[in-house]
Chain A
């Protein structure tokens, strides 16, 4: 089933993207063409197939759950234009 431009626009808004009319028309063509291409999966019997994982990953890949201070937090804060002291400051979160 083809997605309408309203549906694609809704998906774009979920991704926090505002599309111009031209961009939206392109996105509708792109997504529907792409979803058509994915219909080929239905030709395969995937019922008993496990989702992919790298088989050698048998050891626990996680690091020890221990805080390691980053040596240069100033360098991180320096890159933002929304800093207040040692915090990032964002606009209001609650809608009016």
Chain B
């Protein structure tokens, strides 16, 4: 077995025991990237030219990692997959990355993504699409598609992504890895390039639940630089082999029963429920009528409104793409933004501007914030009746690269299973259940706010039954 094939916990134990060196791990991962990257294109920037110095005492000492390119890295290009950021080198590190680095992690590169995290294919990038490492003709999912593909192909044992409406969980499912979206407030977003600030959350990808727990123990916790990160909340992610779900209530959503799922996903739902029942869980049902009918419209109204505000800052003055021959400030802003933003981002900015204009704000934006309250209340009631909700991540298996639908709203509707979790600030785990042909099939477990560690414990029980995902062939066998 090559070193790049080892999971994170195996690498940390092996390094501590002196079975191999950090330099050997680095070289093995670098060789794997060299071999696959031409087929997958998971990275916007590679930083694996040579082994950097790293902190020798931390939990992640000498462990290679990759982070999504919307996380600021001091002195290292950060693009959010947009032309408008040019070759921007941030003057500070994102807290999540700083915590990994302080813990000894070694950065191998920055991952491709949909521009400003807007998309669910990783094809909406100024740097071209990422390919699914299980089948390079298919999308890896998005927006954190590069981070998911990199872990799936064995570039690194874990990576970081961000999840505004499913951007960790959906690519994890498509690529066949675990992806965890923590409770809103669990992980600092300082240094995460903002898309929808009330929805954005940073989280990890890995090939085992135990690995997710290790990463969460490093990146979670209060940060004075992010006022939305909470103090005094539970974040003990210690691995517990004896965790049990006996007597726990696990619900499916009544209203989702009528929705069509691709056969492998429907089959995975049945198998997972049987496993949970056999483990002693009580299978139940919850009703989420507002979520099922209004969440998609609510989410996109809020996400676009927040995006329009967050993206106002890109004007070509202080950083990134610019023009030098503009005759006035208005012309400069117009040219920079028109030439710098991609089509999907422009569409969302225009939609957000439209929804928040004084004449329309009450009817659309304010209404959406109220619908969000109803959605959060509905989840709150549901989690009085159940401990977890089991549901798909997506209704369908990954599509072919380049296939697109002219009706963007249809693509947005595919996010129904992921985006309500962000609206209510809940934790959600995308877990691996097996393969249909060469494509992995994932499902999702969600819980009440701050139940993150319990969800990972439940995920570990499922991992014992389904097995951990294997490293994908990365298009090279």
Which positions in A face B, CB cutoff 8 Å?
3, 8, 11-19, 23, 26-27, 30-31, 33-35, 37-38, 40-41, 44, 46, 49-52, 54, 56-57, 59, 61-63, 70, 72, 75-76, 78-82, 88, 90-93, 95-96
Closest to B296 in A: A37
Tally the A-B contacts, defined by beta carbons under 8 Å: 166
Separation of A87 and B391 alpha carbons in the complex (Å): 53
A90 touches B317 (CB 8 A): yes
* Docked complex Cα distance between A13 and B351 (Å): 12
Main secondary structure of the interface of B (DSSP, over half): helix
Contact partner of A91 (CB less than 8 A), chosen from B89, B91, B327, B351, is: B327
Bound Cα distance A51, B364 (Å): 12
Contact A15 B308 (CB under 8 A): yes
- How many B residues have CB within 8 A of the partner chain? 72
Out of B317, B366, B369, B373, name the residue touching A80 (CB < 8 Å).
B317
Which of A51, A52, A76 has the most chain B CB within a 10 Å cutoff?
A52
Residue of B nearest to A75 (CB): B91
* Given A23-B346, A27-B350, A52-B376, 16 further pairs, Cβ under 8 A: A17-B350, A30-B408, A41-B297, A41-B367, A46-B374, A49-B374, A52-B198, A52-B369, A52-B372, A54-B184, A61-B227, A79-B320, A80-B319, A90-B317, A93-B328, A95-B328
- Minimal beta-carbon separation of A56 from chain B (angstroms): 7
Binds A, one of B147-155, B337-345, B382-390, B429-437: B337-345
By secondary structure, the A interface counts as: loop
Chain B residues with CB below 8 A from A70, complex form: 91
* Whole-angstrom CA separation of A91 from B333 in the bound complex: 10
Q: Are A91 and B367 in contact (CB-based, < 8 A)? A: no
Whether, in the assembled complex, B81 has its beta carbon less than 8 Å from a beta carbon of chain A, the answer is: no
Contact, CB under 8 Å: B350 / A12: yes
Contact between A54 and B322 (Cβ–Cβ < 8 Å)? no
Is B224 interfacial (CB-CB < 8 Å)?
yes
